[in-house]
Chains A and B, each alone.
Chain A
Amino acid sequence: MRFLFLISAALATLVLIFLLNTREFLPAPLGKLLSPQHGIWQNAEPIDQAFNEDLNLPGLKGKVDVYFDERLVPHVFAEQEEDAYYVQGYLHAKFRLWQMEFQTHAAAGRLSELLGEGPGGRILDYDRNMRRLGMGWAAEKSVQEVEKSPESLVQYVAYADGVNAYIDQLTEGQLPIEYKLVGYYPEKWTTLKTALFLKYMSYDLAGGEDDLEFTNARNNFSKTDFDQLYYILSDSLKPVAPNSSEAPYPAVAAMDLSKPALADSIYFGFRNDSLTRDNTHRPNPENGSNNWAVAGSKTKSGRPILCNDPHLGLNLPSLWYEMQITTPNFSAYGATFPGSPNVIIGFNENISFGFTNAGRDVKDYYEIEFQDDTKTAYRYNGQWVPADKRVEVIKIKGEPDLLDTVTYTVFGPVMYDETYRASEKEIRNLAVRWKAHDPSNDGLAFYGLNHAKNYNDYLAAIKNLTCPGQNCIFASKSGDIAIWQQGEFPAKWQRQGDFIMPGKDSSYAWKGMIPQIENPHMVNPARGYVSSANQLSADSSYPYYTGNVFPVYRGYIVNHYLDSVTQADPVFMQKMQTDNYNVKAAFARDILLRVRTTGLDESSIKYLGIFQQWDNRNEKDAEGPTVFNLWWAALEKATWQDEFDRVGVPLPWPGEYVLVESLHKDSSYPFIDNITTPNKETLEDLLTTSLKVAADSLDKLAANGKLAWAKAKDTHISHLLKVIEPFSRLHLPVGGGKGVINATTGDHGPSWRMIVHMTDNIEAYGIYPGGQSGNPGSRFYDDSVDDWAEGKYHTLWLMKKEEISDPRIKWTMHFRKA
């Protein structure tokens, strides 16, 4: 009997431990998670945590001292340059390990391994999308490039060693909380992981296109309709680099850019087939930024000021980590990417630098004809050419591995085929030619910029940047300002690559790359400033085709302000960077005010009144922006949705300027008529019905107290694992929006605002919506979010070695070689 009791008690204990240690039965291993010495409690960092440490680590060459200021920004002073990257890796890991690894897992298409296939197989589909795009293949190629450059190799290896030095001493308790909640463990860091991270940025910034949708549009609209919906040159365009006598465009292309023979009938032939795939994994089309630099002639101090605010997905932990790196060769400060060495956007003692996305179309599709179903050979230039295969092994949590075989051609991987369909009706074999597949060592650009002392150094550095193409802005203490749209861009004929291209021979292949010297640029222009906001880089006199989808309004308003300013200072720049003026609303106002007030119901009249009184500024408490956005969206829908519904396959929605400009040019714009009704609608009819539609939505918002713009827009910063809401910051009181300099939308916006005044002791300001620690249990996790939302800035301190007793320094870490 006693024995039976014993067995029962022992069994109960073991079962209890088992239950509390796995995820099989309870949703979480509660014993493991809640153990105060192992689990989540260990991530609850004391409010008064001291970050002082003395570390003796293998792999260091000399001494490194790190001084943390009151915002936990590290100022790293290394005696040996490679030690600086070692310590950068260590600090990135110490404060951001989970996110940097998670992002490389995302880049490599390995999320199912951690999270399972997701609801409806969504996560698995994301992974397959990344695998089939050849992200891993591309990253492996860039590792080979890095290995060819001694300075890069030393840097990348030192960085990885630093990350691993941190991982090696991690205890279970110190593991970032996300590892505990999801239930996995960090891998060793490698150069490949850094390459994957950088490829992820290429994907985010140069991986977007709507080629399949544009192909549908070409196939289903008449040429006239197509040209009206998707014209490229906006009237309001102010290109990044206008054609001027200071920096004239090349008169002719450096190579023969004539269209292939028969292109008019084959490529531009408007035939009636279509692709049904609605790609939900595309990078956010709003990924873009503002940057500008004004010369001393336009500033109070007589010195240049450089500004940059990259607009990216807003997440926690933040994409950026602020730090200073000082070695005997340079002293740089700015925003860094956890996952990569160097300062990415910032300044040093002599120059400042920043980026906006070029947005050029460097990703195209080619239709492949295989010899047979084995896909071992494909037709190319009149022959059957053998294809390569790459087997992607996708691990899925709780399921057997999925083997996904991807066929590679001369163009690149066949992304869509019978296993990954572009069309439900038929099998289309579409290979993707993407610039990010070409071997390159883009990290060298940042390495060079960190070290640069003048314009020539900057120019030499950015030449390493091939993809993603960027508008690289520059200002120096000595008074120079410059912007180059830099990247290795394919030389294209008009509309090349906007649609799927025939891949049976080389006639539609890219004819070569535009010579670097012919990239659009401006250096010390007479107008006294350079700027970019993702608009078209050049106007139609540029001899190369640069792509088809570009925003215009931010570029318009940035240049408008900079044209008129004469005595700029950092305060002016802060106001400008957080400016909420809505150019599109100003341009659209006269169209909307043509609405006939007779026949409007009471609530429509009320909202029309709000719109009339509104000053076109997307301020957080204003109701005008809410009315305008809903009304304009309803008007666009009323104009185009009927024609689009008739086509019935995924199509690109026309650009933000298309309806405004079309209605200004022609108030009897053919799309106004609703083709589903027997009547012939007029613009006035559409204005009335769209206002009514908007008013219904506005009434619902008003009933919930959400008419104010910030409430309607509802800006939030989600944790990278979208499901963990408590780690996110929701409902932020922020104005701005699409097409506004303060480009803050619901989940996207200025991810780092920086202003650098090139005075003798560089005066700089910056902020990002997050905090220096990636730990949701730290007070430094999101301590900058509220200031960011209010449009405030921190002073950025490029510390000098002799300032080590400055009261701003709160903690010190000493790194010594073991």
Chain B
Amino acid sequence: MKLLISILLTALLSFALCIFLPWWSIAIAAFVVAAAIHQMPWKAFVSGFLALFLLWSGVSWWISAANNDILASKVSMIILKQQGSFLLVLVTGLIGGLVGGFAALTGSLARKL
């Protein structure tokens, strides 16, 4: 339950902060939620990772679907050197997830101090 709430809260807070702040504010969101909601550090990592993975891949997938993947197929050629808008969505989720996960881990460890 805590895991689910953490994921939801982290994703929501990340989305809200990113309206006003740079992209790395997702780390603040993950840190704050992990510090507020007590979980084992590895669980905090998982919830931070999943929150941002789902948020970033979900939002980018949503945007790309509305765009018929016009841009994603071009940008994946530039960044990943291969055709594949879905791959770009996955990479997007992975990058968000990694930052979210490590920030949440930090938050959880900070709380224990």
B51-100 interface with A by 8 A CB criterion? 55-56, 59-60, 63-64, 66-68, 70-75, 77-79, 88, 91-92, 95-96, 98-99
Contact, CB under 8 Å: A21 / B24: yes
A402 interface residue per 8 A CB criterion: no
Which residues on the B side are within 8 Å of A2 (C-beta)?
109, 112-113
B98-113 interface with A by 8 A CB criterion? 98-99, 102-103, 105-106, 109-110, 112-113
Q: Is the interface of A mostly helix, strand, loop or mixed?
A: helix
Bound CA span A781–B18, Å: 28
Contact, CB under 8 Å: A41 / B106: no
- With A34-B95, A36-B63, A725-B77 in contact, do A44 and B23 touch (Cβ < 8 Å)? no
Contact, CB under 8 Å: B109 / A38: no
Which residues on the A side are within 8 Å of B1 (C-beta)?
none
Contact of A46 among B19, B23, B66 (CB under 8 A): B66
Contact, CB under 8 Å: A20 / B99: yes
A511 interface residue per 8 A CB criterion: no
Contact of B99 among A5, A13, A28, A36 (CB under 8 A): A13
Bound CA span A779–B78, Å: 19
Most B Cβ at <10 Å: residue of A35, A42, A46, A172: A35
Bound CA span A33–B31, Å: 22
Which residues on the A side are within 8 Å of B59 (C-beta)?
36-37, 41
Contact, CB under 8 Å: A726 / B75: yes
0/1 interface trace, chain A 6-48, chain B, CB 8 Å (1 if under) = 1001101100110011000000101111111111111111111
Most A Cβ at <10 Å: residue of B66, B88, B106: B106
Contact of A6 among B73, B98, B109 (CB under 8 A): B109
A727 interface residue per 8 A CB criterion: yes
Bound CA span A2–B41, Å: 11
B49 interface residue per 8 A CB criterion: no
Residue of B nearest to A28 (CB): B79
A724 interface residue per 8 A CB criterion: yes
Bound CA span A202–B113, Å: 68
Contact, CB under 8 Å: A35 / B23: yes
Contact of B102 among A9, A181, A725, A726 (CB under 8 A): A9
Chain A nearest CB from B2 CB (Å) reads 19
Bound CA span A44–B69, Å: 8
Contact, CB under 8 Å: A727 / B74: yes
- With A31-B23, A36-B92, A38-B22 in contact, do A43 and B71 touch (Cβ < 8 Å)? yes
- With A41-B59, A47-B66 in contact, do A31 and B78 touch (Cβ < 8 Å)? no
A497 interface residue per 8 A CB criterion: no
Bound CA span A35–B64, Å: 13
Contact of A44 among B31, B64, B99, B109 (CB under 8 A): B64
Residue of B nearest to A778 (CB): B70
Contact of A31 among B24, B66, B70 (CB under 8 A): B24
Contact, CB under 8 Å: B78 / A32: no
Chain A nearest CB from B69 CB (Å) reads 8
A3 interface residue per 8 A CB criterion: yes
Size of the chain B interface, CB-CB below 8 angstroms = 43
Contact, CB under 8 Å: A724 / B78: yes
Bound CA span A31–B94, Å: 10
Bound CA span A13–B103, Å: 6
Contact, CB under 8 Å: B109 / A16: no
A551 interface residue per 8 A CB criterion: no
Contact, CB under 8 Å: A32 / B64: no
A776 interface residue per 8 A CB criterion: yes
Which residues on the B side are within 8 Å of A726 (C-beta)?
73-75, 77-78
Residue of B nearest to A45 (CB): B67
A777 interface residue per 8 A CB criterion: yes
Which residues on the B side are within 8 Å of A5 (C-beta)?
41, 109
Chain B nearest CB from A280 CB (Å) reads 26
Chain A nearest CB from B62 CB (Å) reads 8
Residue of A nearest to B108 (CB): A9
- With A13-B103, A35-B56, A181-B78 in contact, do A776 and B71 touch (Cβ < 8 Å)? yes
Contact of A35 among B18, B77, B106 (CB under 8 A): B18
Bound CA span A36–B31, Å: 20
Chain A nearest CB from B76 CB (Å) reads 8
Which residues on the A side are within 8 Å of B23 (C-beta)?
21, 31-32, 35, 37-39
Chain A nearest CB from B106 CB (Å) reads 4
Which residues on the B side are within 8 Å of A41 (C-beta)?
59-60, 63-64, 71-72, 92
Residue of B nearest to A776 (CB): B74
Which residues on the A side are within 8 Å of B95 (C-beta)?
20, 30-31, 34
Residue of B nearest to A727 (CB): B74
Chain A nearest CB from B38 CB (Å) reads 14
Contact, CB under 8 Å: B92 / A46: no
Residue of B nearest to A10 (CB): B106
Chain B nearest CB from A183 CB (Å) reads 14
Contact, CB under 8 Å: B56 / A36: yes
Contact, CB under 8 Å: B91 / A34: yes
Residue of A nearest to B56 (CB): A36
Contact, CB under 8 Å: B67 / A777: yes
0/1 interface trace, chain A 346-361, chain B, CB 8 Å (1 if under) = 0000000000000000
Contact of B105 among A9, A33, A34, A36 (CB under 8 A): A9
Bound CA span A32–B99, Å: 12
Bound CA span A726–B76, Å: 9
Which residues on the A side are within 8 Å of B68 (C-beta)?
47, 779
Other than the given A3-B113, A34-B91, 8 more pairs (CB < 8 A) read A13-B105, A30-B91, A30-B95, A31-B23, A34-B88, A34-B96, A41-B64, A777-B67
Top-10 shortest CB links A-B: A777-B71, A35-B23, A44-B67, A36-B59, A726-B77, A726-B74, A44-B71, A46-B66, A13-B102, A6-B109
A sample of 24 cross-chain residue pairs with beta-carbon separation below 8 angstroms, ordered by A number, consists of: A5-B109, A9-B106, A13-B31, A13-B103, A16-B98, A21-B23, A33-B79, A34-B60, A34-B95, A35-B18, A35-B56, A36-B56, A37-B15, A41-B59, A44-B67, A44-B71, A45-B71, A46-B67, A725-B77, A726-B73, A726-B74, A776-B70, A776-B74, A777-B70
